[in-house]
Structure 1
Amino acid sequence: MSRSTSPTLETRWHALAPLWQGHSPAIHTGLPHEQLAPAWQILMLGDGSPTRHLTLLTREVIEVDVIDMASIGMAPDDAPAQIEVVPGPRLRRQVWLRTASGQRLAYAVSWWDANHVDEYLQNRALPIWDNLSQLHSELYRDIQGIYYGDSAALAAEFQETGPFWGRHYLFWHSGQPLTLIYEVFSPYLQRYLGAMGGGDWLRSHPPSR
């Protein structure tokens, strides 16, 4: 992919190759601080808007570069299993979240009911949270998984060395699943949040085979 911020068509999305991954109860109880530093846990495991968090951290407007809006029908799309609760046919949206000055901070891919996506993404150039806030939608962010892993594509695009921390979650609205979202954050955020942690902990807690 080009480093340009202009939209380009993407036919695949960038999942991490996990070195470690966690689900409940790790998500609900939190992780050891030597595995993921407290400030990073607020970002990764909290239920607040990541766009709002990034704005507060950087003191810049967070903008969206849409790189993919693809109809995928009922294909599983190599997405997390929770894609099954999102009604189809589905549309996949990929974006970079960046500061107004051009620094990429996060990558996100989301899956929507194609028949209703325009109701919630009325301005597709805005972050999801900004669109939904304008509608005064009541939402529940249901975090389903957290990952620590590698991606050569994201390393090139972030211009940062991995591994990276990522997560996926469902947005619920009026008791119904609205969208499934997978996010990966750039290590550039260590300038604001401090060291992430992860590497030393993983070396002393190797994944079981």
Structure 2
Amino acid sequence: MTATFNRQDSEPVQDPPLHKSWHALTPLWQGGENSVQQGLPHAQLAPAWQILLLGDGSPTRHLQLLTTEPTEVDVIDMSLIGMDSDGAPDLIQAVPGPRLRRQVWLRKASGQRLAYATSWWEASHVDEYLQNRSLPIWASLARLRTELYRDVQGLYYGHSAALETAFEQKGPFWGRHYLFWHHGKPLTLIYEVFSPYLTKYLGSMGG
């Protein structure tokens, strides 16, 4: 059973302080492209969760279908990081610099946070693809009819005290990173972590 933190509805959820600039998991386990391609044992990660984490569909769209509510975005960071690797997965080198880092919460329209995402973009081109920066990336790119390929490259299962506070859920959490490809070139690197709150819709994570 997933543990939750209880609070009064009148109390706003406070943003946790940024640790090392963005909320990377401290992994108990991580897997690379082979794990993504082969899938994981169902005892480790349940099939419904594998579809969410390992599939190449839009997580924003998946969350909306699961919850029957629009998925909204709270942008918490837009920072120019230049050529810094930013503690990101090594694939950040595939994104031309200088770069911009964007951090968001994905949440139900009614407020419940469902996921956290950090993305890294070529700073000079980010405005072409995120014309409305408060929209989910999927919605922004869909409006532009941008053809994309979501290339999932890594999986993580681990802890983050900051995300426990933000999600109001006990860890550990599942996350992933992937590249968006556009016209044969990397467009952005994205690191996502999903809240165990989603067990309400997807069932047990397994393990």
TM-score (norm 2): 0.91
Say if 2:31 is the partner of 1:22.
yes
Q: Deviation per CA, 1:10-44, whole angstroms, max 9, x where unpaired?
A: 87100000000001211001000000000000000
Asked if the contact 1:10–1:68 (Cα under 8 Å) also holds between the matched residues in 2, the reply is no
Which residue matches 1:56? Answer: 65
Runs of 4+ in 1 over 3 A off after TM superposition: 8-11
Which residue matches 1:190? Answer: 199
CA–CA separation in structure 2 for the residues paired with 1:183 and 1:11: 16
Residue 3 (structure 1) shift: 2.4
Which residue matches 2:135? Answer: 126
Of 170, 174, 183, the match for 2:183: 174
Q: How many residues align?
A: 195
CA–CA separation in structure 2 for the residues paired with 1:121 and 1:114: 11
Say if 2:13 is the partner of 1:3.
yes
CA–CA separation in structure 2 for the residues paired with 1:130 and 1:196: 27
Which residue matches 1:152? Answer: 161
One-letter identity of the residue aligned with 1:64: V
Higher mean C-alpha deviation, range 9-18 or range 119-128: 9-18
Asked if the contact 1:72–1:89 (Cα under 8 Å) also holds between the matched residues in 2, the reply is yes
Of 80, 101, 104, the match for 2:110: 101
Of 40, 48, 55, the match for 1:39: 48
16 and 114 in structure 1: CA distance in 2 versus 1, 3 angstrom threshold: same
| Structure 1: gaps (5+ residues) | 199-209
Q: Deviation per CA, 1:163-203, whole angstroms, max 9, x where unpaired?
A: 000000000000000000000000000000000013xxxxx
Percent identity (aligned): 71
SS of residue paired to 1:56: helix
Of 61, 66, 88, the match for 2:97: 88
SS of residue paired to 1:25: helix
